[in-house]
Structures are given as C-alpha cells and as structure tokens.
Structure 1
Amino acid sequence: MWRPSVSVLKRRFSIDEDEDNEEVEEEARRRMRTPSPVREDVAELRGKIQDIKSTFGAIGTHSKSIIPTALKNILQKHEFADAEEILNIAETPKSKAEADAFVALVGGRFVESIAVSSNGSWAFITQVEAYLRGRKEIDDCANNTITIEHPSKPKFIVEHKREYQNQWLEAKIYFKNFEFLVTACLCGNYNDHDFDAFLGASLGNRLALNDYWRVYVPLASTPVVRQSRLLRNFTKRASGFDWHLKSQRFYDNGFSTACALSLHALDGIDSIVAIGSLLLNWKVSNQEDKQKLKSILFNVKELSNMDENAISNCVERVKELSLVKGKKLAVEIALLILKNEVIKDTDYVEMFKALISSRLKTLNSQAIRQKRYLLP
C-alpha cells in the first residue's frame, strides 16, 4: 500500500492545531485513493458480480425461467438443473473403457443442454464432440490445451480461434480431463424472440468472449446419435471413435453436421465424393471391399471408357483427366488400392481437404438455409 513520504508527514504535523483538520484529512484520503485504472476494473468486476447474482439467482428461484421464449415450443416438457449438481458423480476416466463410459454419461447430458451467460445470452446445444486431453495413448486426435486445467466442475468457455487469415469463435465445455466442443446449437438473448442456428465448430460472432457462463442440463437423458468426430485427419488411431453425440430428434429432422465417413450413403452425392468418403471410412475401420470399390469406380462417368482390367493404365490416364484436384486424388487412391499399393497418410489428409471438406460445409449450410432446426 502506498504511504506518504516523511516530508509530507513533517509538513502535516507543523500545521496549527486550531486549523480545521478536515481539509488535511480529505487530502490524505485523496492521496490514498486507488489509482483510476484499478478503480475502473474493480467497478467493472462489481458490475459483473451483480449481473451474475441477478441472472443465476433468478434461475435458482424459478428454474423454468431458463427456457428462452424463442424455444418454448421445442422445450415444452424439458426441466433443467445445474450441470454441476447432476454430473458431480462422474469420475475422471483412466482407461479407454472408462473414457467411453464418461463420454456416454457426461456428453449425453450436454446434448440439449442450455448454456446461460451473465449478460443474458443463451446457447441451446444440440451436438457435442468429446476429446480426451493429455492422454495421447488413448485419444491422439485431441489438442493439448495448456490454458485450461482439468476443472472439477463443467466450465463453458467461448474461445477465439485463428488459423492463417481465418478467425472464428468456438464454444467448449471443459470438465475433468475432457473437452466437449459444441458443434451445433441455437443462440440468442433472453431479451429477444429470435435466434441464430449454427452447424460446425464456428459460431460466428453471436456469443460474447468474456462472459461468465453456466450450463444447465436436462433432468431426463436425451436420446442421442453417435458418429465420428469432425476431424481433418482420419489417419490417426482414434479417428474412428464415435465420440460425436447428436440430439436424435434434431438429427432425424436434418439439423446435424454432415459426417465425412458416411457421405457415401447419402442420396444425391457426387459419385467421386462418395468414393472419397468410402476410402476414409475404410482407412478408419482398417477394412476394404475391393469388389464394391471396383463396381462403384467404373460406374463413374469420367471413367466409363477405361478398361477396368488394366488398372495400371487407368492410373496414368486419370492424371490426364480434366478433374479438380480433390476428385483426381480420390480416383488415384482408389485405383492404387485396387493395385494393392500402399497409400501415404498425407494423401488421405489432402483428399479430405480438397474434396470432402467443402462438401460438408455445403450440406451444413443447406440444412440451416432449409431451417431444419425448426422441429415439427
């Protein structure tokens, strides 16, 4: 704490006793005041604390108030409780089997949960995908997050992400040694009657970065669909984990992120995109069906004039076709598999980037444009 100098003290003690001491005391108080920037920070913090008490105190008193007006029809029969109260029994997993059970229990509870901020924003979460942090021997697809420890209570955070020239926001729930990435949600504010819908990891700019959030989970478990995660590299050991949990009813209505490993099963998918998806699926599952691949491959219009019994010649001819990079790479990989050649992992990664990724984004945008989040 700052203290007045000796010279100042001497000067004060020399003041005539009959002089009014109030002025001196006021000067001392003024000199001892907290510096202006610190006072402003303290005032802001007090304001946030008051917002937190106001927001979450009201929810504690009236639990139904957690449901935004915009979602009344969707959540007519839902009741919610603080995630901390419901999930406090969950133990930190130490093995793959325990991790699977943790994802099913905890991740399943986060599906159709509501995250509420102190400033009145809300996010209704319809999908999460799980990553086990700090255990590469189990989940080698997880990133090392050094800024967040392993919280004993669910911690909802909006993070600013940057890659090259691209910037976006991600919402995550950290709990124990797991990170649950929000991959589909509806977002709004309690003061508004409208909301935005998001599919994928990017949340635009709707959610504020520095707000305090709490997560409220449904009292009754929500039926979920489990699929592979939104990865860019499907050559890692944990690529096939079905740790992507999606609300069953939103999935059935078409509000769900497209899955790279099952694109080949969708109607209306370009035949070469379907081949690329099938190749990724086989890479993850470590199995192949060459007869199936051969029948699909030579039904592709661009390959219809090729001799399917002369695979080596086909590989060379594909390089001459006027196909975009991603399609050409998918066909080359398929032909090399038929030749029993070894495919480099980097080729699978490049094929996803050049062929599959853009198709997934298109399907996600289409689902939002068609308002698939509006349930019947």
Structure 2
Amino acid sequence: MVLDAHALLHGARRPLFSPRAWLALAVAALALALLPLANLVFPAGHALHVSAYTVALLGKFMCFALAALALDLVWGYAGILSLGHGLFFALGGYAHGMYLMRSIGTDGVYQRNLPDFMVFLNWKELPWYWSFTEHFWYAWLLVVLVPGALAFLFGYFAFRSRIKGVYFSIITQALTFAAMLLFFRNDTGFGGNNGFTDFKRILGFEITAPGTRAALYWVTLTALAGGLVLARALTQSRYGRVLMGVRDAENRLRFLGYEPLGFKLFVWTLSAVLCGIAGALYVPQVGIINPGEMSPANSIEMVVWVATGGRGTLIGPIVGAGVVNGLKTWFTSVLPEFWLYALGLIFVLTTLFLPQGLVGLARKLATRAGWRKS
C-alpha cells in the first residue's frame, strides 16, 4: 500500500453500502426479525411455526456475530490480531449477569437476598463491587465501562511500547488465561467454577417467557445491525483510511506525521466495548456465564469465525460466525468428539484455499458471473 498524506486527509468519503447491498441487508434483517413472530403467532405443529430453541439459537449466533464483527475491526482493519477477545465478551456477560443474579431476589434455592452461591460459600453480605448492581442501568454501565477501561489501559501500555505482531497476540492470550484463573476462584465473588445461572427475570419479566425471549432476540438483532453500520461508517471514513495505513505501513504512516497510538487505542477500546455488549446480550439468552467463556480456546475460535468469513470485510465475520457455529451445533449433537478436529480443518482449509474467506469466494464467483465489475 502506498500512503499519501493528501489522500488520507482529503479523500472523498465513500458511501456506506451500495443500493444493492442495502437491499440485501434489509431483506436479511426483515427475515430474521420475523422469526420470533413465527414462534409467538403460530402454534407448535403449524407449518410456519419456529421453535423456541431455534429462536434462542439464532439469538446466540447473533451475539457471536457481533463479537466477530468487533474482532474484525482490530484484526481486519488495524492488523491487530487479538487472542483475548473472549475476555471482553465474558466481562460484559458477567456485568449483566450480576444484575440478573440480583433480580432473582428470594426466589433462589436458599430463599435469601444473597445469590445462592454466596449463601453456599457462607458469605454474609455482598462485596462492595456488587453495589448498585440491582439496577439495570448500572449493570449496563458496567457492561460498557469494564471491558472498555481494561482494553484502554492494556492497549495504552502495549501500543505505547510498540508491541505488535505475534508478541501482542501472545500477551492478549496470557491476559485472558490469567483472568480465567482468577474467576475460577470462589473467593472472587463471581461464582467460581459454576459462574452465574438460574436466572429468573429481567426488568421484571420472566426471562424464559416466549415474549421475553423474542424481545431479547430483537434487541440482539438491533445491536448487530447498529454495530455493522457503525463499523462500516468508521472504516469508510478518513479515520478508516488511516487505520488501514496503520495495518499496512505503520512506520511510513508515522513518517507522514501520524501518531498510530491514538488510532489503534480508539479502535481497540471500541472493539472491546462491542464485544462486551455481545457478551451481555448472550447471557440472558443462554442462561449461564462462567469462567469457561474466558478460555483462550474461545478467543481462538473467534479468530476462526473472522478468517472463515473473510477478515477486513465486516460482513464476512458475521457470515463466518453463523456458518462455523452452525457446524458446531451439528457436530456437537452428532459427532461431538470430532468437533475440534473439524474446527482445525476449517481453519487450515480457509488459510490454504480461501485466504479472503467466504465473502472473497462469493466476490470471485460474482465477478466471473458478470454480476460485479472486474
């Protein structure tokens, strides 16, 4: 990539999407939005009925898609490969999970105002960092601030020290592994190995009610659509061009008078916040959050989603998250012992034969068919 200071400063702003892309996205969003209605309106056994399991599964996939989109912002556009985004996903989930645990009230097994795991471990009162978590707004403030603050502090010292490449990836993996070990401890006040589960209600509504499930699904779809538009606007702007300059020629960019620290730190923090939001939406739909979500394997799986779909495309990671997790759902129900082999094979085949992912393949096929200009 040849960097030009005038092009970076005065290049024309490109449209978010082409008219054809806007139409395709609108159709896809409408189709997805109608699925919960098919569950609510049509009774079981009807040809148009969609099961509650399917609605919950697709809601979970959309949370994963938002996390993949967040990772693509830093990896696909800034060249920062993170192997620790599972940490931000889990932190968002734990922040929301604290509110959900407080919402149980005295309906738990021990019928106490303390969460059941605290009663079991003989805690007498809530620790100070659980203060105000009975408020939904405060929990969502934590969802944004906790992953964002951690990412900002970590990124500031890492980027200021000019740590990048494989060294940065290893450090992020070490960070998430250390956090996982911390959260496994019972004395941290986060449920230890079991984490948070047995949620009863959210904002006063029964969390397992079909209407609540549908609302959570629609909120997740809206968050995914909003995240996509935000990410697209960011990458199509002047900032996005500078960001790609960081990815392709950071030293030359610095020579042109740009300090990469601020650009990298902003997108890194934004990515962590989006990942935290994805985790917060994931927890009430699956009904559990535990330290296993912080495992380095989960972060590596996110990388596979992005690579499979096509990094640096935004749409690709969303597609990749859906495809890979769809395969995972099938494998773990039919051939569970072979899933990790299949995941490794997917990554190897993508690296060797689909370096631009499924989106890149689709673009090539469209070009050959004459649908796109070559």
Decide: shared fold, TM above 0.5. no
Higher helix share: 2
User: How high is the TM-score relative to the length of structure 2?
Assistant: 0.24
Higher strand share: 1
Higher alpha-carbon Rg:
1
User: How high is the TM-score relative to the length of structure 1?
Assistant: 0.23
**Per chain length, whose mean CA-contact separation is higher, i.e. which structure has more relative contact order (CA < 8 Å, sep 6+)?**
2
